[in-house]
Structure 1
Amino acid sequence: MKTILNIAIVALLTLTIVSCKDDLPAGEGIPQIYVTGATTALPTDVEEYSVGDAGSATWTVSDAAVASISGSGSTASVTFLSPGDVRVTATVGSQTGYVDVRVSSIDAGVTVSYDSYGFLSKDSTGTVTFTFDAPLASAPLFGLKGTSDAKLITVGTLAGSADKYTVGVTGGEGNGTAMAYLRDVIVTDAFGGDKADTLEVAMHTTDNTAPAMETFDQMAAGAVSWGMDVSATISFNEAVRAAMTDAADTAIWVYYGYTRDMVAGATAKEDSVELVSEDMITWTATLTVPDSISHGNGFNYVKTGGEFLDLAGNEVAVGVAASLGSFTIDREGPNVPTTTAMEPTTMPEGVGNQRWVTLGAASTDVGLAGVAGYHYLLKEAYESDTTATGVHNAGPKSLADFSSELNESETMSKLMSTDSARYDLFWIAVDELGNASDIDSARLQYNKNGEFSYNVDNTIP
């Protein structure tokens, strides 16, 4: 009984498979090869199809009017020609696979581009280019929107073919953006035959108003040092560009004058730096202060060279100011600090071997920038200042040897241990430009009785 049941089940499954296959639409079968590739496309698209490791395939398409195919290996390239449905089939031996592709039509759309930045002034000329999303069956009708737009510009005759047409334009009176119409825009049948009765497009913008300089700013006049950046910024009420009247006129320059001190003698020098902009409205020039200018000498803005025009070609109404302040080179650091150290009477004395000590440093600037603050360095005497060979090192030699943060105040309080009998204390003053003073050194100590003293003769005993 069990054997008879198994045979019946096999017979039933066989009948089911045959029935399913017979029910398939004519010309179709179950894919035996997996084909990869796009299932949607537009006319002129080129897509790649593959059978992977299945082997070298014979490739075909079901409708040569919709697509063409090339390829004889595991991959093929399909070029889609017109809207419709097409099947891409691959055959390897007796096995086949396919991908069905829907090729859509292309709408009657257009992209507008301009020369001359898209701006014109009166009597200046330009060209507008219309690039359609698909080739057109015929040239569209073209014209300006109305009489007011005709005052802004005049237009020539539309010329071109397929998907690209151009028209020449000339700037007119007033200010504004002219609008135009493209009518009866019909895509060729091969790309779907879509039609747009009217497409409204923007033409060049006419601008007959001179641009105005709104601000001219430079870093506040005063003290500068070598390697600092001195900047000047000009801003306008609209986008501007260099006039570019010839091959050499491609930029606007800011000039700075100074006296260069060289071995051969002092020489008057004038450096220029280009004004640059990211938005064509705000322009900035930055020049690094040369290291050939002696302390106390001037470094001055002299002039701006070149001409600014707006994008329509109108000249800037008012020129850049001829002279705006000057700078003075400051290479001198502050005087060596006068230092103090004492145990305050108004603060807690501390706990156990910890005592509060008030440290102070004061200096004046030899240069012009003013004192910015002080760095200090405190070491246990001798112990950290002696090399491996026993040679005494008195302490820091330059600003780079100080690791403490800049202390803008002239005094600070520090909790110190009386167990370390002697400390070496070093101070250095720094001005606003980073110029440093000479280093002050002194010693503070506690004797065996815990009595505090401070050596202020600027030497380490």
Structure 2
Amino acid sequence: MKKILNIAIVALLTLTIVSCKDDLPAGEGIPQIYVTGATTALPTAVEEYSVGDAGSATWSVSDAAVASVSGSGSTANVTFLSPGDVRVTATIGSESGYVDVRVSSVGAGVSVSYDKDGLLRKDSTGTVTFSFDAPLASDPLFGLKGTADAALVTVGALAGSADKYTVGVTGGTGNGTAMAYLRDVIVADNYGGDKADTIEVALFTIDNVQPTMTEFSQEGNLSGTATWGSDASASVTFNEAVRAAMTDAADTAIWVYYTYTRDMVAGATAQTDSVAMVSDDMITWTATLTVPDSISSGNSFSYVKIEGNFLDLAGNEPVNDLSAPMNYTMDLDGPVINPTGVNEPESEPTGVGEMRWVDFTASATDASSVAGYHYLIKEAYESDTTDAGVHNLGPKSLEEFSSEIDADGMLSKLMSTDSAAYDVFWIAVDEFGYESDVDSTRLTYSNTGVLTID
């Protein structure tokens, strides 16, 4: 009984499929061939359709006014001619398949582009290009919108055809963006025939205002010194975007030149280096040149000249010129430290076994500037000799100092006066990291609390 039921179900399904096929509208049978390709398109588009490995097919379209087909085989190219709905059919023997395609119309849209960044100044010329979304049935009408805020000396005639037109203009004495109208913009019939009575478009912006340099800065210390590996930097900021003038093929950037004397085996040699000013936003421009490690201490790394000029995007020169970068004196030496200053704020000695405040002062001179001081205090005879009795005056370099840097070189300590002796050490470091010699001062308190400084 179970087997009989299964056979009956299969028979019922077969009858259902046949019935559905018979009930389909005439000419709309179930496709036996699978066709692939685009289901939407625009006029003039060319799309490829394929039956894969099904074999060589005969191709056709349902409406020759909307599309045409070329090719015989497993693939074909369909060229779409005008808006509408069309069926692309592939037939192999008695079997066929299809793809329905909707070809859309194109609106009367336009995009505007400019040469010279869309900016002009007085007497400079430029070209405006109007690119329409589809070819036009006829040339549109063109005219200015009233009196332009930015006077244009000349406005040429509209020239072009199909989907691209141009007009040439010459900048006047004003400032602002000149506007114009495109009238009677009618798309060609095979693209849908859409129409726009009036389209407002922007012509060039006229800019006769000179840019202003708002800031000039240098990444150098106030003393005008540098050392090997220092960055000699100059930065200038404008109130609007600017570019290098580029008046000829060789004028490619703004160059900053420095000169110095290089120490060579064969003798000192004059050298000039240059670096281009660069910018990420065309507002702030910076030039940075690393000081070479072949200049003797005390010699100079000197600014020579700036070559080239800035212009804004309309071609106006800046009101104020780029300031000259600074000259640098080479500093390769550490500070010269002065003897430590020692002072007792209290006027009278204290008795044996008492504590007493002592002020210490460190000072030094340097070609650049002193960044700070490190100190170290030890009992005198602890630092005076080693275990073997060898004379040892304490630390010799910065690494042997345990204290943190003291920017002012000022220190107050509470000291014991009980027949005590101390060695106080200072070392100065300049802004480039060069160290001074170590200064050593001995403080000795007698058994009556009297201070002696050696």
Q: Same fold (TM over 0.5)?
A: yes
How far, CA to CA, are the matches of 2:436 and 2:56 in structure 1? Answer: 83
Aligned partners of 2:179 and 2:201 also within 8 Å: yes
Task: Deviation per CA, 1:283-318: give whole Å up to 9, x if none.
Answer: 121212222222232223333221222222222222
- Counterparts in 2 of 1:153 and 1:16: CA distance versus 1, 3 Å: farther
Aligned partners of 1:120 and 1:313 also within 8 Å: yes
User: Letter of the aligned partner of 1:23 in structure 2?
Assistant: D
- Counterparts in 2 of 1:370 and 1:43: CA distance versus 1, 3 Å: farther
Q: How is 1:227-238 mapped onto 2 (pairs within 5 angstroms)? A: 227-238=229-240
Aligned-pair CA distance for 1:25: 2.4
How far, CA to CA, are the matches of 2:57 and 2:319 in structure 1? Answer: 72
Aligned partners of 2:33 and 2:97 also within 8 Å: yes
User: Letter of the aligned partner of 1:327 in structure 2?
Assistant: Y
- Quote the residue 1:175 is aligned against: 175
Aligned-pair CA distance for 1:146: 0.7
Deviates more, 1:283-292 or 1:13-22: 13-22
Aligned-pair CA distance for 1:23: 2.5
How far, CA to CA, are the matches of 2:98 and 2:363 in structure 1? Answer: 88
- Counterparts in 2 of 1:44 and 1:288: CA distance versus 1, 3 Å: farther
- Counterparts in 2 of 1:170 and 1:92: CA distance versus 1, 3 Å: same
TM-score (norm 1): 0.70
User: Letter of the aligned partner of 1:167 in structure 2?
Assistant: V
User: Letter of the aligned partner of 2:326 in structure 1?
Assistant: G
Aligned-pair CA distance for 1:67: 2.6
- Counterparts in 2 of 1:5 and 1:154: CA distance versus 1, 3 Å: same
Q: How is 1:69-218 mapped onto 2 (pairs within 5 angstroms)? A: 69-149=69-149, 151-152=151-152, 154-218=154-218
- Counterparts in 2 of 1:289 and 1:123: CA distance versus 1, 3 Å: same
How far, CA to CA, are the matches of 2:48 and 2:436 in structure 1? Answer: 73
In the alignment, does 2:255 pair up with 1:253?
A: yes
Aligned-pair CA distance for 1:152: 4.1
How far, CA to CA, are the matches of 2:169 and 2:191 in structure 1? Answer: 31
- Counterparts in 2 of 1:28 and 1:267: CA distance versus 1, 3 Å: same
Q: Which structure 1 segments of 5+ residues have no match?
A: 337-361, 375-397, 411-427, 440-461
- Quote the residue 2:267 is aligned against: 265
Deviates more, 1:274-283 or 1:201-210: 274-283
Q: How is 1:7-406 mapped onto 2 (pairs within 5 angstroms)? A: 13-149=13-149, 151-152=151-152, 154-221=154-221, 222-321=224-323, 323-332=324-333, 368=368, 370=370
**1:217 alignment partner, SS class:** strand
How far, CA to CA, are the matches of 1:125 and 1:227 in structure 2? Answer: 48
TM-score (norm 2): 0.71
**1:216 alignment partner, SS class:** strand
How far, CA to CA, are the matches of 1:220 and 1:308 in structure 2? Answer: 24
How far, CA to CA, are the matches of 1:300 and 1:148 in structure 2? Answer: 51
Q: Which has the larger radius of gyration?
A: 2
Aligned-pair CA distance for 1:275: 1.4
Q: Which structure 2 segments of 5+ residues have no match?
A: 338-361, 375-396, 408-426, 439-454
Deviates more, 1:53-62 or 1:244-253: 53-62
User: Letter of the aligned partner of 2:104 in structure 1?
Assistant: S
- Counterparts in 2 of 1:2 and 1:371: CA distance versus 1, 3 Å: closer
- Quote the residue 1:393 is aligned against: none
How far, CA to CA, are the matches of 1:373 and 1:22 in structure 2? Answer: 103
How far, CA to CA, are the matches of 1:432 and 1:38 in structure 2? Answer: 70
Aligned residues: 375
Deviates more, 1:270-279 or 1:207-216: 270-279
- Counterparts in 2 of 1:165 and 1:407: CA distance versus 1, 3 Å: farther
Deviates more, 1:237-246 or 1:70-79: 70-79
- Counterparts in 2 of 1:286 and 1:57: CA distance versus 1, 3 Å: farther
Aligned partners of 2:112 and 2:131 also within 8 Å: yes
How far, CA to CA, are the matches of 1:371 and 1:150 in structure 2? Answer: 57
How far, CA to CA, are the matches of 1:279 and 1:3 in structure 2? Answer: 82
Aligned-pair CA distance for 1:17: 3.1
Aligned-pair CA distance for 1:136: 0.5
User: Letter of the aligned partner of 1:168 in structure 2?
Assistant: G
